[in-house]
Chains A and B, each alone.
Chain A
């Protein structure tokens, strides 16, 4: 079974509108972390936001927020006020357990912002 599922291969959003990118995960470990990364066409993975499994509040970082629904095992990324520079691939990733750094990635969502 897929550990990280991103069901939207591609999405369009109008500039200045908000957009939600979906991510569901599967783990039996009570301790885990969820990450979102942005990958522009240049290839570099840019860290956006992190949510720990024990965090009580949803994470926010500037225009990025994470809609964490633990019971549903979902960690959707919300980008507010989209900008043209937000056009990129977005990856959801999970780290299981408290030691080690192995990340399991979803298949990604290509976001395209229309002017």
Chain B
């Protein structure tokens, strides 16, 4: 079975721009979660989607948003980028999002200049 895939793997943007990251979960998995990893704040939960609905949301500003499509693929969007948004963005999938193991993708490294 193919693992979680994320595109693009690397991205460079400038302040004020917006960015969209994509995540394709493991086949059959319906829950997709997003995490941000920075040296200062560590790994932080952004949000979780299940059946095209946001089920949980972390403590991030409204500039961070996401969506999930009917095939369970998910996108996250960051608008009006700030320097502090530079991070590794990790996507994880699980079967139903009922506490079972989440499997992570390789991440997207975003650099904001």
Contacts and interface: CB of A to CB of B under 8 A. Distances in A.
A99 interface: yes
A50 interface: yes
Interface string A40-75: 001111110010000000000000000000000000
B104 A102 contact: no
Chain B interface secondary structure, helix, strand, loop or mixed?
Answer: strand
A95 to B, nearest CB: 5
Interface stretch (A19-27, A76-84, A104-112): A104-112
A33 B99 contact: yes
Interface residues of A, number: 25
A101 B107 contact: no
> Considering residues B43, B56, B92, B107, which has the most beta carbons from chain A within 10 angstroms of its beta carbon?
B43
B31 interface: yes
A43 B109 contact: yes
Contacts of B63: none
B102 A91 contact: no
A105 B44 CA distance: 7
Interface residues of B, number: 26
Contacts of B105: 44
B104 A37 contact: yes
B103 interface: yes
Interface of B: 31, 33, 35, 42-45, 48, 55-56, 58, 88, 90, 92, 94, 97-99, 101-107, 109
Given A93-B43, A98-B98, A108-B42, 14 more contacts: A33-B99, A35-B101, A43-B90, A43-B109, A46-B104, A95-B99, A98-B99, A99-B99, A101-B55, A101-B56, A101-B102, A102-B45, A103-B102, A105-B43
Interface of A: 33, 35, 37, 42-47, 50, 91, 93, 95, 97-108
